[in-house]
Amino acid sequence: MRTSPFRRPRRQFAALLAAALLVACGGETTTADPTSSTAAASTSAAPTSTEATTTTLATTTSEATTTTVPAPVPVYPLTGLPVTDPAVAARPAVVVKIDNNAKARPQSGLNSADIVFEEIVEVQTRFAAVFHSQGSDPVGPIRSGRTQDVDLLGSLNRPMFVWSGGNPGVTRVIENSDLRELSALKSSAQGAGFYRESSRSAPHNLYATTSGAWSLAPADAGPPPQQFQYLAPGQAPVGEAGAACNGEMDGLRVEWRYDAAAGMYLRTNNGTPHNDLASGQINTNNVVVMFVNYQASQVDNRSPEAQTIGSGEVWVFTQGVLVRGTWSRADRLSPITLSDSSGNPILLTPGRTWVELARNGSFNVG
């Protein structure tokens, strides 16, 4: 009888299947020798037991390090000094237009203002004194405003604006602005405490009180935003020697000279110490000389108007150091930005600041 050609493979398959079952039933794991590629069919490989290797990792417990960052100390926005009275910090700014005619000196309140802007008017200067962290009772002598005040003061969040009034054109511009104007010509402003000082002659004898101006602030009046950036405690300014500067402000020679012992710049007018009636020589922590263009006011061509929107050269004097740079301002609601030659913010000493709105090229160092 012929043998089927398929039988032998079946027998070999059966033998292999039986061997596989035998190994599977043995219950042991075997590992093939990696150096041998062929196993003899008739030889059973000795079982090789592989012990699991256990690696014990040392457990390290790390305690979370907690770094407590102190909360920023609240500061008054116009000086950078620590807040001592939250109610004071929350009140609006009061701006008073102060006379600088020779017959108006010595004035009252200039050493109490957080920021003073010196503006050129008709062949003399006038001050826009900004009060916030402290006030002055009395304050003055008070004079009229100018159209340049609307742009200049726009970044102070609708400040109270104390003035003697003005010609019809200027009055219209200021009344139509967002300044909360308190004119001596209006009965509604008499709570500001306007009065005439009998020992002086008009028009250099009108005074008021900042406490009276604050008493007239509407309920929705808020504090001014920060105007400048300040040095941190212990941080020193970096620049060139800047112990003094002087300049011509249309008929008035102004000089500031640093008193290292007092840490203040002291002011003179035409070579004579410029004094405050109550506190002595005018002084400040910072002097900012902003070089600006002046144009004739659109409502009074006799009146120069400082252009404080745009950009220009600036000199910042602080702690006996001069930092040269650029001032810039996008619009009237934006604070003035001071940047050094590398584009970094120029930092002021916390305290009071005087800003000279000087014609281009009119000031000197020393």
Q: 37 in a domain, yes or no?
A: no
d(C-alpha 236, C-alpha 88), whole Å: 29
Q: Is the predicted pLDDT of residue 336 greater than 90, yes or no? A: yes
28-37, 94-103, 272-281, 293-302 — which is least confidently predicted? 28-37
29-43, 44-58, 178-192 — which is least confidently predicted? 29-43
Q: Could you tell me how far CA 314 lies from the centroid of its own chain?
A: 17
User: Cβ(231)–Cβ(350) under 8 Å?
Assistant: yes
Residues 6+ apart with CB under 8 A from 16: 41
pLDDT at 65: 65
Q: 28 in a domain, yes or no?
A: no
Q: 99 in a domain, yes or no?
A: yes
Q: 23 in a domain, yes or no?
A: no
For residue 1, count other CB atoms closer than 10 A to its CB: 3
Q: 259 in a domain, yes or no?
A: yes
Number of domains, the chain:
1
Structure tokens at 158: 């609708």
d(C-alpha 215, C-alpha 135), whole Å: 12
Q: 132 in a domain, yes or no?
A: yes
Q: 32 in a domain, yes or no?
A: no
pLDDT at 70: 78
pLDDT, average across residues 9-22: 35
Encode burial over 225-263: b for 16+ CB neighbours within 10 A, e otherwise. Answer: eebbebeeeeeebebeebbbbbbebeebebbbebeeeee
**Helix (H), strand (E) at residue 12:** helix 7-25
Summarised one tens digit per residue, pLDDT across range 116-164 is 999 999 889 999 999 999 999 999 999 999 999 999 999 999 999 999 9
CATH code at position 168: 3.50.90.10
Look up the domain containing 365 and give its range. Answer: 74-366
Q: 266 in a domain, yes or no?
A: yes
